[in-house]
Amino acid sequence: MKALLGAEYADFAAALKTPPPVSIRFQKGLDAGLMQAGFAPLTLTPIPWHPQGYYLSERPQFTLDPRLHAGAYYVQEASSMFLYQALVQHADFSKSLKVLDMCAAPGGKSTLIADLLNPDSLLVANEVIRTRVGVLRENLEKWGVPNIAFTCAESEVFAENLPEFFDIVVTDAPCSGEGLFRKDPDATKEWSTDNVYMCAGRQQRILTAAVETLAPGGLLIYSTCTYNHLENEDNTKWLQVEHGLELLSIRIDPAWGMVENQGGYHCYPHHVKGEGFYLAAFRKKVGPISKRNIPSGFISLKPLPKAGIPAIQPWLNPEWPVKLFQIPSGEILALPAALENAFLCIDKAIKSKWFGVFVGEIKGKDLIPAHPLALSPLLQPGLVLEVSRDQALLFLKKEVFDLPAGTPNGWTLVCYQGHRLGWIKVLPNRMNNYLPPDRRIRMDL
């Protein structure tokens, strides 16, 4: 770092000894004023490179804020929100796009991308480490994203089975983590020069696949949370020389503090109110599209039999046309109708995957609604119960609470300040809490 920063090194080292900033990003469409008021008496300061991003004056108990569990906001590091500028400056989100987040867990960048897409666009959130797929799905389900596929596959699988399929590929590649040393001191224990070289080689392998699955004229975003040239500038140059990509410039306000170097953009903690981050954007040159066929060995989606449709239709928002499918486990999925062909391509190409919105399962003639449906815009709300903060937290601990007199029996959507939390079923003498056990709060209230 002394070699990279020269006279600035002392300021950099001093910045690493300061508390890491706390930042969040509100979901698109929410009233930012009302959301900010919900954090009083904390001070919220806008993050200048993202319209929904804010710094908090201190870190609250996020786990005990029901709005977090409802997907009203995401706790995301401010520097990584710079992805927004790369995307909006170089992609037309009024079009129907197919977007791959190649290294997606825990979901911060995927939720950011989802807010930009129109309903006829597809987001594929991929995570190669199977144990991290659960938190990725949880965060995207909180966000209420219906036009999504979750996958668990090596990058080469996309290159081989979905060549030139995606209009945008975002690759926030595994790296040596130098930019995390302030936020996560344990990251220093994993650092070594050997690890830096290993990461740089692995990044090139992932990037090669990213280029191959990217359509001609498509946009590639490459980012890391590290500082060294091997993983950043050298790989940026390698993408231009080895794969013929066009390096794109990103307009930045000098007041933001980003440092441009050889066409990539660095966030250093002594310049930016955020952690270490690097990003570069590329355009794949226009050329002939590959004629390779998508394999057909992994099909899991089967159209829902017509007999099951009457049990489900009353639950669905008619403003979102969907196609209903059933997977071998019996679970029913709702997929946006405009994306049916794209979903079927993913189904054929990727072995481990999950699609759209889990609607539920049919028992007899009735639907047992699933938790993701409660949080989705595909839902046509029926009975809704607005609860207090204390009641919301009891619900999120998967406990019961007293219901207002006269609460109707039946499936009821629990909401806090208008934000959906999940299902209860009200019975004549009790209520059942249907929050999934793995989503419950385990800390003391």
Reported as a single tens digit per residue, the pLDDT across 133-171 is 999 999 999 999 999 999 999 999 999 999 999 999 999
The residue-averaged pLDDT of 388-397 equals: 97
Instruction: Report pLDDT for 289.
Output: 67
| 333 class by beta-carbon count within 10 Å (0-12 exposed, 13-18 middle, 19+ buried) | buried
Instruction: Report pLDDT for 186.
Output: 85
Instruction: Report pLDDT for 265.
Output: 98
Pairing of strands 430-433, 419-427: antiparallel
- How confident is the model over 115-136, as pLDDT tens digits? 999 999 999 999 999 999 999 9
pLDDT class of 185 with cuts at 50, 70, 90: confident
Both tokens assigned to 175: 């790296």
How far apart, in whole angstroms, are the C-alpha atoms of residue 209 and residue 102? 10
Q: Give yes or no for residue 78 having a pLDDT over 80.
A: yes
Instruction: Report pLDDT for 384.
Output: 95
Tell me the residue ranges of DSSP E strands in 17-165. 22-26, 44-46, 53-56, 73-75, 98-101, 122-126, 148-151
The residue-averaged pLDDT of 221-233 equals: 98
The residue-averaged pLDDT of 342-352 equals: 94
Computed over every residue of the chain, the mean pLDDT equals 95
Catalytic residues: 225
Instruction: Report pLDDT for 381.
Output: 82
Alpha-carbon distances of 214 from 103, 292, 293, 304, 320, rounded to whole Å: 15, 14, 15, 32, 28
- How confident is the model over 407-444, as pLDDT tens digits? 999 999 999 999 999 999 999 989 999 999 999 999 87
Q: Give yes or no for residue 365 having a pLDDT over 90.
A: no
pLDDT class of 294 with cuts at 50, 70, 90: low
Q: Give yes or no for residue 214 having a pLDDT over 80.
A: yes
Both tokens assigned to 436: 């999934």
Q: Give yes or no for residue 295 having a pLDDT over 80.
A: no
Instruction: Report pLDDT for 439.
Output: 95
Q: Give yes or no for residue 290 having a pLDDT over 80.
A: no
